[in-house]
Amino acid sequence: MTAQKVGEGVEHLTTSGQFQIDGNSFDVDNNVWIVGDSSEVVLLDAPHDAEAIKKAVGDRNVVAILCTHSHNDHVNAAPAIAQAFDAPILLNPDDRVVWNLTYPDREPDGEITDGETFTVGGIELRAIHTPGHSPGSTVFYAPDLGTLFSGDTLFNGGPGATGPSYSDFNVIIESLAQKVFTLPGDTIVRTGHGDTTKVGDEASRLEEYRERGY
Ligand SMILES: [Fe+2]
């Protein structure tokens, strides 16, 4: 698949591979979000297919690979991309316990802290630490674009999975209630897997999600 421009400053690519956790493997399709302009970009995750991602970036400068979290299906092409573009892999340090499952001998290149902002191609992205799906899960809010890049913290239809190790349902619900559903309701949510949604559409179902327990 080739990347598609989906909005001002945002391109989308889907890659396919396997998510591996707790001794199980699942076939998955992952969204890659490329944010920036014609000269520089950041990548929201680097899953599965380094060649497809490299092709989508082209000759632009990669300012950073911003990891929404470090389940293998979001970072398994990250070192190859980092090397190809001389770009740092950045991750919230609380996710190192998960990162180390995939990369015991390769550290991320830097840390993402809660509230940190990144500017690329004139677009500001604010990192918001939203633990629950994993301890260091982070979403990235672009106020000028009215867009949230949610990783696996929020999908179209509810919170990300909290069954695997290092996940916690009560924690993800609190992250959503306090840090995501407080954003403007018309914010477009571009997710780690599957369809796009809106903050308001998901926020209106918070009690339903809380009661069903996933
Ligand atoms: Fe995940």
| pLDDT tens-digit series, residues 23-36 | 999 999 999 999 99
- Cα 210 to ligand 1 centroid, rounded to whole Å: 19
- Cα 30 to ligand 1 centroid, rounded to whole Å: 10
Give CA angle at 51 (47, 55), nearest 5°. 110
- Cα 200 to ligand 1 centroid, rounded to whole Å: 23
Residue in 39, 51, 40, 65 with CA at minimum distance from that of residue 3: 51
Q: What is the mean pLDDT of residues 69-85?
A: 98
pLDDT surpassing 80 at residue 1: no
Q: What is the pLDDT of residue 212?
A: 97
DSSP string, 115-130: T-EEEETTEEEEEEE-
- Cα 82 to ligand 1 centroid, rounded to whole Å: 20
Alpha carbon 173 to chain centroid, angstroms: 17
pLDDT surpassing 90 at residue 165: yes
Residue pLDDT, tens place only, 5-21: 999 999 999 999 999 99
- Cα 69 to ligand 1 centroid, rounded to whole Å: 7
- Cα 59 to ligand 1 centroid, rounded to whole Å: 29
Instruction: Tell me the two tokens of residue 75.
Output: 């970072």
Residue 153: helix, strand or coil by DSSP? coil
Name the CATH topology of 4-212: Metallo-beta-lactamase; Chain A (3.60.15)
Calpha distance 166→160 (Å, rounded): 13
- Cα 33 to ligand 1 centroid, rounded to whole Å: 15
Q: What is the pLDDT of residue 186?
A: 98
Count the alpha carbons within 13 Å of 118 in the hemisphere toward its beta carbon.
26
Calpha distance 159→176 (Å, rounded): 8
Write b or e for each residue in 115-137: b if 16 or more Cβ atoms lie within 10 A of its Cβ, otherwise e.
ebebebbebebebbbbbbbbbbb
Residue ranges of domains in the chain: 4-212
- Cα 64 to ligand 1 centroid, rounded to whole Å: 20
The secondary structure element, H or E, covering residue 19 is strand 10-21
In percent, the amount of the chain with pLDDT more than 70 equals: 100
Residue in 29, 51, 57 with CA at minimum distance from that of residue 152: 29
Please say whether the beta carbons of 65 and 112 come within 8 A. Answer: no
- Cα 74 to ligand 1 centroid, rounded to whole Å: 7
Q: What is the pLDDT of residue 13?
A: 98
- Cα 144 to ligand 1 centroid, rounded to whole Å: 26
Please say whether the beta carbons of 9 and 40 come within 8 A. Answer: no
Please say whether the beta carbons of 188 and 7 come within 8 A. Answer: yes
- What does the mean pLDDT of the chain come to? 98
Calpha distance 177→175 (Å, rounded): 6
Please say whether the beta carbons of 65 and 57 come within 8 A. Answer: no
Q: What is the pLDDT of residue 191?
A: 98
Assign 121 a pLDDT band (cuts: 50, 70, 90): very high
Q: What is the mean pLDDT of residues 172-187?
A: 98
Give CA angle at 199 (141, 17), nearest 5°. 70
- Cα 71 to ligand 1 centroid, rounded to whole Å: 5
Q: What is the mean pLDDT of residues 145-153?
A: 98
